[in-house]
Amino acid sequence: MNTSITLPAVAKLNLFLHITGRRADGYHNLQSIFQMLDYGDELTFTRKDTSELCLRCNQTELESQDNLVLRAARLLQQQSQTSFGADIYLHKRLPLGGGLGGGSSDAATTLLALNQLWGLHLSIEQLAQLGLQLGADVPVFVHGRTAFAEGVGEQLTPIELPERWYLVVTPDCHVSTAEIFQHPALPRNSAPLRYDQLKTAEWRNDCQSLVEQLYPNVALTLQWLLEYAPSRMTGTGASVFAGFTDKMQAEKALSTMPSFCRGFIARGVSESPVVAALAKAHVSSQGVAPAAP
């Protein structure tokens, strides 16, 4: 069995985000399409024969015991009662507080990788249930498929969408998800959509107007990007995005990006690259040469 594994932890976009109500427990019911991208962070896991968990990161300020990566690893240890531990290296590319799901994706990749590295044989559904304890976005990354999401984001129905290139741009501000969802001015009464209405309905982000008011740089970034394509915010921001049928169009827009932003171009995919990478690592661990890509 291999004692080391490297896997991606990709970003997602909320192609729309409708808030349909507030629950008694304070969480919100929502509807969204989580679009997987082929771009994100990367994590390397090396199995330890002791129960110690150690996280290193190219951004040293993230080497915290409260990092979702370590929280996911500890949760999996506790649930499985394994005696193994791991050295984990996180190469962080995704911006913090951008609404791209980077922390949740890191946690999901951690669950997937350590389940295999520790030989636990938990199912994807079991891992997704564990992930939900860490955050509402974690299950979609565990499943690794572009999906229509309901509930708090954990009720997932896979959906196929036309391939597009996305320009994702993040202004230099950090939006607090908790602040936005607790704000009294947040709309919470969008009418629920049926699955068969998705592709014809008007898509919007119910958080966007409030975030634009509270964070002017988000509004300025959207105004700039709207010159190139229809655009909106993902999650609670601060990242915004526009979809293009042609990569060159996205590159043209990126070349004029405001100086207070950072950005990247990624392809929207139906299946997260983590699915194929995990399968390839599993085949390798069995001592069988992986199939050619």
Alpha helices by DSSP H, 87-207: 102-117, 124-132, 138-143, 177-182
The number of beta carbons lying within 10 Å of the beta carbon of residue 188 is 14
Query: Residue 133: left (phi > 0), alpha (psi -120 to 50), or beta?
Result: alpha
Instruction: Given the residues 12, 41, 106, 206, select the one marked as catalytic.
Output: 12
DSSP lists the bridge partners of residue 45 as 5, 88
Active site residue 137: yes
151 is annotated as contributing to ligand binding: no
105 is annotated as contributing to ligand binding: yes
Q: Residues 6 or more apart from 262 whose CB is under 8 A from it?
A: 95, 169, 170, 172
CA dist 73 and 113 (Å) reads 10
128 preceded by cis ω (within 30°)?
no
287 is annotated as contributing to ligand binding: no
21 is annotated as contributing to ligand binding: no
103 is annotated as contributing to ligand binding: yes
Q: How far from 282 is each of 7, 112, 277, CA to CA, in Å?
A: 12, 11, 9
Active site residue 12: yes
258 is annotated as contributing to ligand binding: no
Which of 146, 169, 163, 161 minimizes the C-alpha distance to 223? 169
Burial class from Cβ neighbours inside 10 Å (0-12, 13-18, 19+) for residue 216 reads exposed
DSSP strand pairing (155-158 vs 147-150):
antiparallel
Number of H helices, E strands in the chain: 9, 10
Instruction: Given the residues 41, 106, 137, 206, select the one marked as catalytic.
Output: 137
99 is annotated as contributing to ligand binding: yes
- Residues of the binding site for ATP: 95-105
- Residues of the binding site: 95-105
Catalytic residues: 12, 137
